[in-house]
């Protein structure tokens, strides 16, 4: 899946860099940050070890929950939020007056976006064709 993420983002003229250095999450195999001046936001992709039975799932879910908690604290007033929690296949999005966030968990992978509210439509445009494989 990391290769799929990288090639998908590069096709959308986003610069993708490996950003594993300094990460402290256990069983983290790959971390990429996709950046584009055209869109004005970064997409961070985390991929956990899928060979450690359930451990990779657990650490991915922990990071997902941490990102969701962090984004819930970013604004005093959330205008809109959506979420779907299916254990190891979940997403959360929220919008305040000036910020927008999107967090997605899919088995061993997490996608995290935190940007200004005016970039919300661009986030949808970039991720529209990206399909993370279902874990079930």
Cβ-contact 82, 103 below 8 angstroms: no
Percent of the chain with pLDDT over 70: 88
Domain count across the chain: 1
Residue 83 covered by a domain: yes
CATH number of the domain within which 109 lies: 3.40.1000
Burial 26-42 (b: 16+ CB within 10 A, else e): ebbbbbbbbebeebebb
Residue 119 domain boundaries: 2-127
Residue 135 covered by a domain: no
Q: Region 110-117: what's the mean pLDDT?
A: 91
Residue 133 covered by a domain: no
Residue 132 covered by a domain: no
CA dist., res. 122 & res. 70, Å (int): 22
Q: Region 55-70: what's the mean pLDDT?
A: 86
Task: Identify each DSSP E strand in 1-136 by its residue range.
Answer: 15-18, 28-36, 41-48, 78-85, 89-96, 99-106, 109-116
Pseudo-torsion of CA 116, 23, 26, 111, nearest 10°? 30
CA dist., res. 55 & res. 29, Å (int): 13
Give the pTM. Answer: 0.85
R_g of the chain, CA atoms, integer Å: 14
Is pLDDT above 60 for 136? no
Is pLDDT above 90 for 77? no
Is pLDDT above 90 for 78? no
């Amino acid at each position: 899946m990391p290769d799929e993420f990288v090639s998908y983002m590069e096709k959308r003229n986003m610069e993708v860099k490996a950003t594993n250095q300094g990460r402290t999450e256990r069983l983290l195999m790959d971390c990429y940050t996709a950046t584009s001046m055209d869109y004005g936001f970064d997409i961070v992709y985390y991929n956990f070890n899928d060979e450690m039975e359930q451990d990779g799932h657990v650490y991915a879910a922990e990071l997902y929950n941490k990102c969701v908690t962090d984004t819930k604290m970013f604004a005093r007033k959330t205008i809109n939020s959506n979420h779907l929690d299916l254990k190891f296949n979940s997403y959360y999005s929220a919008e305040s007056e000036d910020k927008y966030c999107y967090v997605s968990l899919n088995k061993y992978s997490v996608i995290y976006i935190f940007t200004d509210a005016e970039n919300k439509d661009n986030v949808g445009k970039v991720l529209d064709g990206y399909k993370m494989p279902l874990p079930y």
